[in-house]
Amino acid sequence: MMSLRYKWLAIFYGLLCHGIFLIAGAIMFFTILTGFQFSVGAFEGFSAVAINFILLIQFPAGHSFLLSERGLKVLEIFAPKKYAKTLRTTVYATIASIQLILLFSLWNFSGVFIWQIETPANVFMVMLNLLSWALLSISSIQAGYKVQTGSLGWTSLYQGKQPVFPDMPHRGLFSIIRQPIYLSFSLVLWTSPEMSLDLFIVAFSYSLYCYFGPMFKERRFQKIYGKRFSEYKERVPYYMPYIFRRVG
């Protein structure tokens, strides 16, 4: 009876996590391509600015905090105490998806556009956006898709074992740059045929976060992997491939 109970609990957390994950991806994809035109925020003036600011900072702030020691304890609140540590990655991915849904659906649209690329040139931008999504997906898989999607937690619980985290990523896109996930995420934000002021603010702000945020992640990797990570850092550039550095 107990074994069936934790298996059903694992399935519930898995369905919840991946369902919200897919919804977040769909909303984000549509909102970026349309430049926030169809977000449902209904405020204007100072209220709109204040709410947009909160929506803007809540994702990077929460994303970083929940990886800290205190943040990990907060994650454990959202699961039964007996299985809380096992389900942390699943809860983390679920919360991150909810944060993205809030940002990309509740934003208050300004109505101001920086560029609007018409047909047929907009097809090129859409293709670039899809390529950026592909790079984001590939780099997430190469980093350890179970961690990135939140499946590590619930599948470990279902199998009745402790989560085993993947090794330090260093192959594939990670052999070209150390932070392909963050670079790909930035490219996703910038490759829209409908660049509104709203999307520009999000793209600019999150591009800064995508550049500086991983530095804290690399400090953790340095503690975990030591010399091995130091040698990897010497071999592989941080954010841009060497070819671009040489051109510069």
Asked if 125 contacts 117 with a C-beta cutoff of 8 angstroms, the reply is yes
Which of 149, 122, 119 has the alpha carbon at shortest distance from 18?
149
State the pLDDT at residue 159.
92
The token pair that represents 193 in the structure block: 């045929």
Which of 24, 154, 141 has the alpha carbon at shortest distance from 88?
154
pLDDT in tens, 132-148: 999 999 999 999 989 99
pTM, two decimals, is: 0.89
What total of structural domains would you count in the chain? 1
Give me the domain span that covers residue 193. 2-247
Report the distance separating Cα 183 and Cα 189, nearest Å. Answer: 10
The percentage of residues in the chain with a pLDDT greater than 70, rounded to a whole number, is 96
State the pLDDT at residue 6.
86
Report the distance separating Cα 6 and Cα 119, nearest Å. Answer: 52
